[in-house]
Chains A and B, each alone.
Chain A
Amino acid sequence: MTTQMRLRGGSRDVDYASSSQVRIQLSTRDNDISLPKNPGPLLVNTNLRRYALSTLVNHLLKTEKPIPFEFLINGTFLRTTLDEYLTSRGISSEATVPLEYVRAAIPPVYKTSFMHDNWVCSVDVLSVTSPAAKWVGNARIGFNQERVISGDYDGLLRVWDMTGDVLAVSRTVREGGPVSALKSVKFISPTQIASCGMDGVIRLWEYTEDAENLTASLSPQIELCGQRRVIESIAVHQPSSRILSASGDHTVGVWSTNASEAPNPPEELRPSHRGNKRQKVQPSTTPQRGPLALLESHTAQVADTIFAPNDHTVAYSVSWDHSLKTWDLPTSTCVDTRSTTAVLFATVSMPNLSLVAVGGTAGHITLIDPRDSTTTVSAMTLRGHKNFTFSLATDPDSAYRLVSGSADGTCRVWDIRSSTTDKNGKVGASVECLQRESGKREAKVFGVCWDKDVGILSASEDKFVQINGGAKVEARIPRGH
């Protein structure tokens, strides 16, 4: 009752004669911002907008600093007044409107771009909150000391600082480095980087910076070889020192980062140097190791693989044979296969929802519940991309959001709470669409990465790594200092 009075008091200039009231039922899926006790249906004016409702929730939560909230009604975000929403949907103001509130996400804005010489395939970031730093635990990465690594079609691995300077580059072809395009790069730890590419070899690099951060160096540690075709993607898990690789020879490779643990590679699969006379250089002195296991069940090229976020003995892989497979790593067996209708290129896991998102040539992203109990293949589809989906990443802030990079030249941010149901089941639409700042139309986005501190990084055909970050990142800046 007090709430209503307060609200009325706060908007005294509103003409009450013309506005009506509606019952709302507030709810949320985040535990930390849930209301301590259920207030029941509240009676509010229908001319309220998001801001007023957010104030209401903040008041109910008795927060010290107001948290901006957004409101979902039946899976769509409230962007107008309640009245307009109800009128446009033809909902009677007599009914109780279920109102779900979520933390407002500040739209990611363009921050900077890192230019490359060739198409950029893959990007990863090291920050305080990135997995690589979390695994180590004692990493000290100050503000703006985040590092970005990128791999391009020239086969070069670059380490960038946040100002856009290249700190270190792997050896070029002329210097005897590997020649093939890099398909995936990952931080294993703040000092170790893994890369893989078209030559079918996973390379582990040691990354060192001196104290003044003036120079940095990349030196090859181990070459992991044993797969016969291009390795499209790798996944790393530092605590168990395991690497998963998705290869064009239809296998998923399991590797160890410890040179002592891994077997020697088969002789015929050691990386060859071309018979070109330019390439007649001394064989590399880098130690070479073979795979711990090659998981064979896919019938076509494997495109992406990930560790299950909560259990590093479980892996998921997607392949050109349209299927998502769940692997039990200790026994190297395929536990489960889910078939979709199109070639799959990327997958990402959403641990809190026990969903796996897969994207591919279908033009939409499918959310699959990989647990045994489910019978349907697709839990939800996210529609909006006009072309292939090449990569996926989850929002570190929210369990419900993910970003996808597509061949139509956009990255789209999806909130799976925002969904509607049609004849094909639950369908979600994107909440944000990030265009390429380079202005090149339909520059395919090959890799995306979402970091809590840095924002959304996307690597694309336009030879740029583009960083889009929420304003929140900047808002944290004073506190960081």
Chain B
Amino acid sequence: MAPESASKKRKAVTRDSPESEEVALSDGGDDFEVALLNGIQVQSGDDMDGDSSDSLEDEKDSGEELDSDEVPPDGEDDVRDLVKENGFLREPTPEEELNGEGPAANYRIAKDANGNLRYVYNEIDPVYDSDDSDAPATTNTIGNIPLSFYDSYPHIGYDINGKKISRPAKGEALDALLDSIEIPKGWTGLTDPATGKPLELNQQELEVLKRIQMNEVPEEGYDPYPDMVEYFTSKTETMPLSAAPEPKRRFVPSKHETKRVMKIVRAIREGRISPYRLPPEEEEDDLDVKRYDIWANEAPRPDNPMNIPAPKLPPPGYEESYHPPQEYLPDKNEKKAWEEADEEDRNKEFLPTNHDSLRKVPCYARFIKEKFERCLDLYLAPRVRRSKLNIDPESLLPKLPSPEELRPFPTMCATKFLGHEGRVRSLAVAPSGHWLASGGDDGTVRVGELTTGHQVWSVQLEKGEAVNVVRWRPGTEAKVLAAATGEDVYLISPQIADLNKEVATKSREIIDAGWGYAANGAKSNTKKEPATQWVRPGSRLEGDGVLVKFSLRKTVKIISWHRRGEYFATVSPQGQTNAVAIHTLSKHLTQLPFRKLKGLAQSAQFHPSKPIFFVATQRMIRSYDLSKQELLKIIQPGARWISSFDVHPGGDNLIVGSYDKRLLWHDLELSVRPYKTLRYHKKAIRAVKFHQGGLPLFADASDDGSLQIFHGKVVEDMMENASIVPLKVLRGHQVKKELGVLDLDWHPREPWCVSAGADGTCRLWT
């Protein structure tokens, strides 16, 4: 399709505005712009999106044929095709048809007088489609009728020759573009409805419009606020013109008026005139207007869930009466109680009141308030219908196995261990699983039979100083107990009758192995003074099996053994630089590995399989590599004050108990933040412990006097998270002075748990 044809077509349809088009074509200097115009033009002519591809094809050709003035023979057809497609032209006129063949029969050949060939051109017929610019401008001849009558036709009227005036292209795209290139003066972007042409306004008209827009009087020079010309003076005279007194008729009722009024009154009484005229029935049967009763066939609809029917109020009773019977009237006390009660607490909203007659009933005092509240209700009511999530929240939770399936776990108190006076601060089950060691406020360390609760051995370490912690050395070949009271740490080989010669000797050997080393170590290590001296505790204690004693600078609260039983760590939270000490049993050597520790040390523990050491301060747990001597990880449980922690026997998980009632599970591989937070206790958690014997159990002990048992299964698969199920709350310990359960421990193999209570008992839970 050549641009010519397109422009021709455009000319055909927008003959009324040839000027603007000329401008556009002349301005479109380069190929691309013209091509672009063509595309747009075609589109505007068709009003069809489907032709956009055609227009793109046109762009290719446009470059070659732009310059040729010649009208291609099929140009007219093309236009016609387009017109046909749009259903514009149903029947081409014969003239057009003739004209379509025009190029062939444009001239005839005749012979002039000399016998030469002579081209005699046909006279140019200034037809509708003619290029002739001399043709008179067509004007619509339809007369003074609305143009909307032609809305359904492709043309908008007829010219002086009776030819159809085609509807000008709306020209959204082209005209918008053209107008954006150069907006003619007076351009409004509107279409004159009378002519269909773009509406142009001159400066004066625009001024008028502007004034109308500003809500001013359109007329120029109109003053809306002229100076007031006073008709009467507004000034009050100080001296009145007349000093005559007020006439009597001003304040005596007029007899004449009374007569007239009485006349009307009589007429009303006698019914001659009616005071109110009934309003005339406005309903007039207008036959032209059809009316329908839209509610005629209304069927009751099912209740909408959003529709809340107004509550059906009971009919008023006697007490709501203005003059209720005596028995409904409140007496003084009831009245007082009602008045003193909070408005929301009153069981009825009103007080039955007696009035002698209806006219003595005062106005409703709460009227304004009630209206206000009603308005408030309406105002605050949600305007948007909120779609409720119709999901059972339970179904979103992961499926936890029921505790019944997770047996065995401790469920009941089997044995109570009595004997301690005051609190039991710490306890530990021996690695053999047969003995329970406990230490308490009375300064004694006691060992009892686990299943029966019979105390078989006890020793008083220091009078008046509580035993803060007792811990058995791991390993069954010897029975060594470490206990701390105050600043002193003792190593004990308890003389239980069960310990025959072999075990007793072995235990003694293990404890006493380091005597030589201590002296040698001190000599070789002359640089530093040894942190402490390991000594014999004195003959009284030695006779009872307490073999070694050493003192640290501050109160020792935690003892934690390495799994091989060679090292143990002590924590004394008050000791600033030497809060954490690691002791070598076979050398009787004490080391202070942390010269600087941020925060108060709370607890420390060895990793169950790797040379890693965990130290808990108030808020963080740091793990150190002991072989490389470097900080590995800082675990942030987010607790305000960590009370205790324990490492899972697998080594990758950690539970942390805090004084702010939280139990936190950490997956060390996952994050330094807790994987799960369990907040079930009412008071601070004192101790947490994993079962070390292969059962997926852990427990915590709290100041609210209860222990909680959890199932905590760690899966080998790294992709799967640990499953934690709360199993059982063990209650039984009494809370004394805000303290409940102070320590707990697990049996090394069985699902048994022991707890130390502030009430002076230890309990075995099975």
Using a CB–CB cutoff of 8 Å, the interface residues on chain A facing chain B are 119, 153, 155, 179-181, 197-200, 228-230, 248, 268-272, 274-277, 300-301, 320, 341-343, 345, 361, 386-388, 390, 407, 444, 446, 461
Are B500 and A272 interface neighbours, CB within 8 A?
yes
Given known pairs A200-B498, A200-B500, A407-B414, the reply for A345 and B451 (CB within 8 Å) is yes
In the complex, the chain B residue whose C-beta lies closest to that of A361 is: B766
| Shortest Cβ gap from B441 to chain A (Å) | 25
**Residue in B412, B497, B502, B750 whose beta carbon sits within 8 Å of that of A228 in the complex:** B502
Least Cβ–Cβ distance between B170 and chain A, in angstroms: 86
Within B405-426, the residues touching A (CB, 8 Å) are 408, 412, 414-415
Tell me if B504 is interfacial: C-beta within 8 Å of chain A.
yes
Given contacts A361-B414, A407-B415, contact A179 B452 (CB under 8 A): no
A311 to chain B, nearest CB (A): 31
Query: In the complex, what distance in Å separates the CA atom of A345 from the CA atom of B496?
Result: 21
Query: B452 near A444 (CB under 8 angstroms)?
Result: yes
A341 contacts across to B, CB distance below 8 A: 408
Q: How far is the CA of A119 from the CA of B454 in the complex (A)?
A: 8
**B498 with A230: CB separation less than 8 A:** yes
In the complex, which residues of chain A have a beta carbon less than 8 angstroms from the beta carbon of B412?
386-387
* Chain A residue with the shortest CB-CB distance to B415: A407
B65: min CB distance to chain A, Å: 97
A selection of 5 A-B contacts at a CB cut-off of 8 Å is: A119-B452, A272-B504, A301-B432, A301-B434, A388-B451
Chain A residues with CB under 8 Å of B504's CB are 272
A268 touches B501 (CB 8 A): yes
In the complex, are the beta carbons of A181 and B456 less than 8 A apart?
yes
- With A301-B434, A387-B414, A407-B415 known to touch, is A180 a contact of B497 (CB < 8 Å)? yes
**Neighbouring A residues of B454 by C-beta, 8 Å:** 119, 153, 181
Are A199 and B497 in contact (CB-based, < 8 A)? yes
B498→A199 contact, CB < 8 A: yes
Give Cα distance in the complex from A200 to B502, angstroms: 12
Q: Is there a chain A Cβ closer than 8 Å to B608's Cβ?
A: no
- Distance from B492 Cβ to chain A, minimum over Cβ atoms (Å): 14
Closest 7 A/B residue pairs (Cβ)? A180-B497, A272-B501, A198-B497, A230-B498, A199-B497, A198-B498, A361-B766
Closest to B495 in A: A274
Question: Are B501 and A180 neighbours in the complex by a CB distance under 8 Å?
Answer: no
Chain B 430-446, CB-CB to A under 8 Å as 1, else 0, gives 00111000000000000
B500 touches A269 (CB 8 A): yes
A199 and B500 in contact, given A153-B454, A181-B456, A341-B408 (Cβ under 8 angstroms): yes
Tell me the B residues contacting A by CB distance below 8 Å: 408, 412, 414-415, 432-434, 451-454, 456, 495-498, 500-504, 543, 749-750, 766
Q: How far is the CA of A228 from the CA of B500 in the complex (A)?
A: 6
Given contacts A197-B497, A270-B501, A461-B452, 18 further A-B contacts (CB under 8 A): A180-B498, A181-B497, A198-B456, A199-B497, A199-B500, A228-B502, A229-B432, A230-B434, A248-B434, A272-B500, A272-B504, A274-B495, A276-B495, A320-B750, A361-B766, A388-B414, A407-B415, A407-B452
Given A276-B543, A320-B433, A407-B415, check contact A271 B500 (CB 8 Å). yes
Interface contacts (Cβ under 8 Å), in number, total 81
State how many angstroms separate the Cβ of A8 from the closest Cβ of chain B: 54
Whether the pair B501, A446 counts as a contact (CB closer than 8 A) is no
Q: Cα distance A274–B543 when bound, in Å?
A: 9
CB distance from B653 to the nearest CB of A (A): 27
> What distance in Å separates the Cβ of B284 from its nearest Cβ neighbour in chain A?
84
What is the bound-complex CA distance between A301 and B435, given in angstroms?
13
Once the chains are docked, how many angstroms separate the CA of A181 from the CA of B435? 14
Nearest Cβ on chain A to B435's Cβ, whole angstroms: 10
Query: Does the CB pair A268–B502 fall under 8 Å?
Result: yes
Chain B residues closer than 8 Å to A270, beta-carbon distance: 501
Chain B residue numbers with a CB within 8 Å of A343 are: 750
Output the residue of B408, B504, B766 with the most chain A CB within 10 A. Answer: B766
Q: A248-B434, A274-B495, A320-B433 are in contact. Are A269 and B451 (CB under 8 A)?
A: no
A444 to B502, CA, bound (A): 32
CB–CB B452/A198 < 8 A:
no
| CB-defined contacts of A342 to chain B, threshold 8 Å | 408
B424 → chain A closest CB, angstroms: 19
A229 in contact with B498 (CB, 8 Å): yes
Q: A153-B454, A198-B456, A276-B543 are in contact. Are A269 and B498 (CB under 8 A)?
A: no
| Cβ of B751 to closest chain A Cβ, rounded Å | 9
Give complex CA distance A269, B766 in Å.
34
- Which B residues are in CB contact (< 8 Å) with A155? 497
Residues of A within 8 A of B498 (CB): 180, 198-200, 229-230, 248
CA distance A345 to B449 in the complex (A): 14
How near does chain B come to A21, taking the closest CB pair, in angstroms? 47
What is the distance, in angstroms, from B447's C-beta to the closest C-beta of chain A? 12
Residues of chain B within 8 A of A407, CB atoms compared: 414-415, 452
Q: Pick from A199, A230, A300: contact of B749, CB below 8 A.
A: A300
B476 to chain A, nearest CB (A): 10
Partner of A198, one of B496, B749, B766: B496
Chain B residue contacts of A301, Cβ below 8 A:
432-434
**A80 to B283, alpha carbons, bound, how many Å?**
92
- What A residues does B452 contact at CB under 8 A? 119, 390, 407, 444, 446, 461
- Please indicate the chain A residues that have their CB under 8 angstroms from the CB of B766 in the complex: 361, 388
Residues of chain B within 8 A of A345, CB atoms compared = 451
- Point out the residues of chain A lying under 8 angstroms from B432, CB to CB: 229, 248, 301
Instruction: Determine how close the nearest CB of chain A comes to the CB of B128; give it in whole angstroms.
Output: 103
Contact A269 B749 (CB under 8 A): no
Q: Which residues of B contact A444 (CB under 8 A)?
A: 415, 452-453
With A and B bound together, what is the CA distance between A361 and B408 in angstroms? 12
Question: With a CB–CB cut-off of 8 A, which chain B residues contact A153?
Answer: 454
Please indicate the chain B residues that have their CB under 8 angstroms from the CB of A180 in the complex: 497-498
Q: How close is A77's CB to chain B, nearest CB, in angstroms?
A: 29
A277 CA / B766 CA spacing, docked (Å): 40
Cα–Cα, bound, A390→B749 (Å): 20
- Min CB distance A132 to B, Å, is 27
Could you say which of A179, A228, A390 has the most chain B C-beta atoms within 10 Å of its C-beta? A228
A138–B276 alpha-carbon span in the complex (Å): 137
B544 vs chain A, min Cβ distance (A): 9
Residue of B nearest to A363 (CB): B412
Within the assembled complex, what's the spacing in Å between the Cα atoms of A345 and B497?
Answer: 20
B503 nearest CB neighbor, chain A only: A228
Residues of B within 8 A of A390 (CB): 452
Report how far A342 CA is from B752 CA in the complex, Å. 11
Which residues of chain A are within 8 angstroms of B496 by Cβ–Cβ distance? 198
Q: With a CB–CB cut-off of 8 A, which chain B residues contact A461?
A: 452-453
Nearest chain A CB to B543 CB, angstrom units: 6
What's the Cα separation between A345 and B543 when bound, in Å? 34
User: Which of A229, A248, A342 has the largest number of chain B CB atoms within 10 A?
Assistant: A229
| Chain A CB within 10 A, most for which of B408, B495, B498, B750 | B498
Query: CA separation between A343 and B693, bound complex, in Å?
Result: 15
Q: In the assembled complex, which residues on chain A have CB atoms less than 8 Å from the CB atom of B543? A: 275-277
- Give the shortest distance, in Å, between B596 (CB) and chain A (any CB): 45
Q: How far is the CB of B281 from chain A (nearest CB, A)?
A: 81
Closest to A386 in B: B412
Q: Are B456 and A269 in contact, CB atoms less than 8 angstroms apart?
A: no
Least CB separation from A408: chain B residue: B414
Name the residue among A199, A230, A461 with the largest chain B CB count within 10 angstroms. A230
Closest to A303 in B: B451
Residue in B434, B451, B497 whose CB lies within 8 Å of A179: B497
What is the minimal beta-carbon distance from B643 to any residue of chain A, in angstroms?
31
Q: Which residues of B contact A230 (CB under 8 A)?
A: 434, 497-498
Inside 8 A of B415's CB, which chain A residues have their CB?
407, 444
Which chain B positions have C-beta within 8 A of A268? 501-502
Cα–Cα, bound, A407→B504 (Å): 31
| CB nearest neighbor in A for B411 | A363
Cα A390 to Cα B451 with chains together (Å): 10
Q: Which residue of B lies closest to A341 (CB)?
A: B408
Q: Which residues of B contact A387 (CB under 8 A)?
A: 412, 414
CB neighbours (8 Å) of A179 from chain B are 497
CA distance A107 to B500 in the complex (A): 45
